[in-house]
């Protein structure tokens, strides 16, 4: 009986840890979804954003998690008996670290990015930019559903649109319309969208 007790305790601890992890992950996912829902629409592109507000925070998060859980990671790796396990287990922990880092450090980077854009936009006047419509698409099997694609700063951008709006314009030629976007410049020529309207060319 005494020999089995440590195993039982270890199993109970693992179950408790798994339950806490599940609650934490669920909470983080909900927080990310809520934050994304209330974020302003920002269009534009710059590699500095990918580097400073995504790659750096997420990488820092992975390194932090690896250091914080280094003892457990080392223990789990030490328990691996087969070569396949020694390869797959580190890959699994790396993916888990990437996921956790994205939900935490990635969110922090994104919120910082939005804050800096809002702060910069407050100093700038409202502008109206006109963009060419590329297409209307309803990829219901993909993320986002119905979208309106347009060109901004020589790059393709998109807005989510309602199914009603898509049905209204799906049979129309995109070249007959243009998109007028009202908003303010943020940092690095990004543009915070206040509103937009679609108008027929020639009217």
pTM for the full predicted model: 0.75
User: pLDDT value at position 13?
Assistant: 55
Going through the chain in order, the beta strands assigned E by DSSP cover 41-43, 127-139, 145-152, 155-160, 177-185, 191-200
pLDDT tens for residues 156-187? 999 988 888 888 888 888 888 899 999 999 99
User: What's the alpha-carbon Rg for the chain, to the nearest Å?
Assistant: 24
Q: Render 156-180 in DSSP notation, one character per residue.
A: EEEEE--HHHHHHHTTS-GGGEEEE
DSSP state of 79: T
Mean pLDDT by 10 residues, the chain (203 residues): 46 63 83 86 91 94 87 77 78 88 92 93 93 83 73 90 85 88 92 91 67
Q: What percent of the chain has pLDDT above 90? A: 39
Burial grade of 200 (CB within 10 A; 0-12, 13-18, 19 or more):
exposed
pLDDT in tens, 1-20: 444 444 444 555 556 656 77
């Amino acid at each position: 009986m005494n020999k089995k007790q440590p195993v039982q305790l270890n199993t109970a601890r693992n179950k408790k840890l798994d339950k806490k992890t599940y609650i934490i992950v669920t909470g983080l996912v909900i927080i990310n979804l809520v934050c994304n829902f209330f974020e302003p629409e920002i269009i534009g592109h710059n590699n500095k954003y990918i580097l400073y507000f995504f790659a750096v925070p997420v990488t820092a998060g992975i390194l932090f998690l690896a250091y914080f859980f280094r003892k457990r990671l080392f223990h789990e790796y030490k328990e691996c008996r087969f070569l396949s396990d020694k390869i797959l287990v580190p890959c699994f922990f790396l993916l888990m670290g990437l996921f956790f880092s994205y939900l935490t450090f990635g969110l922090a980077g994104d919120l910082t990015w939005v804050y800096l854009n809002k702060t910069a936009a407050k100093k700038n006047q409202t502008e109206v930019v006109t963009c060419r419509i590329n297409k209307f698409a309803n990829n219901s099997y993909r993320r986002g559903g119905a979208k309106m694609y347009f060109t901004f700063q020589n790059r393709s951008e998109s807005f989510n649109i309602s199914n009603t709006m898509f049905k209204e314009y799906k049979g129309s030629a995109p070249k007959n319309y243009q998109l007028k976007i009202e908003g303010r410049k943020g940092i690095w020529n990004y543009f915070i969208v206040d509103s937009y309207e679609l108008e027929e060319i020639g009217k």
